[in-house]
Amino acid sequence: MMSCCDKSIEKSKAVALCPKCGLSCKSVAMRTLYHQVKFPENLKIVQDHYYFCPDNSCSTAYFSGSGKVIVKQDLRKLAEIESAKLCYCFDIDSVDYTQALKSGSAESIKAFVLQKTKAADCACAVQNPSGLCCLAEFKRLEKAEQ
């Protein structure tokens, strides 16, 4: 079964440099943009190949190779991006998970997310502004806490 967190999908992502901050950014599907951009800005989205800049301090959200830019201010989840949301599908904050790692309850949270991801009950492709699975972010936080 192909889920949004399928490894082959993640690996097939193209990469481009953010024109604002220069960070290496991964491509996103048009479907992701339509679920993330606010009305009425979503009406103005032009079909193109877009990339998402994951740097919270960068004003650019999506950009295309041909120079189209959508700013983070135009996203529905700006507050969540600014507060470093970890898992958009199940509403888990980075702070929540960092505390869980400290108190030893992180395993059950991660097990829940893994189980739901395997069952394809996650919706990263539309819920996460990056369109990517959040499991890599869980691993990044775990490493940071070690």
- Which long-range contacts does 7-12 make (Cβ < 8 Å, 24+ apart)? 10/132, 10/133
Of the pair 85, 110, the CB lying nearest Zn ion is at: 85
Sign of CA dihedral 91, 100, 116, 33: positive
The residue type found at 107 is E
Candidate ranges 55-63, 67-75, 88-96, 134-142; the one touching Zn ion (CB under 5 A): 55-63
Of the pair 110, 131, the CB lying nearest Zn ion is at: 131
Of the pair 55, 93, the CB lying nearest Zn ion is at: 55
CB of 22 to Zn ion, least distance (A): 7
Alpha-carbon span 76 to 35, nearest angstrom: 8
Q: Which residues pair with 28 in a beta bridge?
A: 50
The residue type found at 103 is S
Binders in 80-119 for Zn ion, by CB under 5 A: none
Binders in 17-36 for Zn ion, by CB under 5 A: 18, 20-21, 23
Q: Which residues bind Zn ion (CB under 5 A)?
A: 18, 20-21, 23, 53, 55, 58, 60
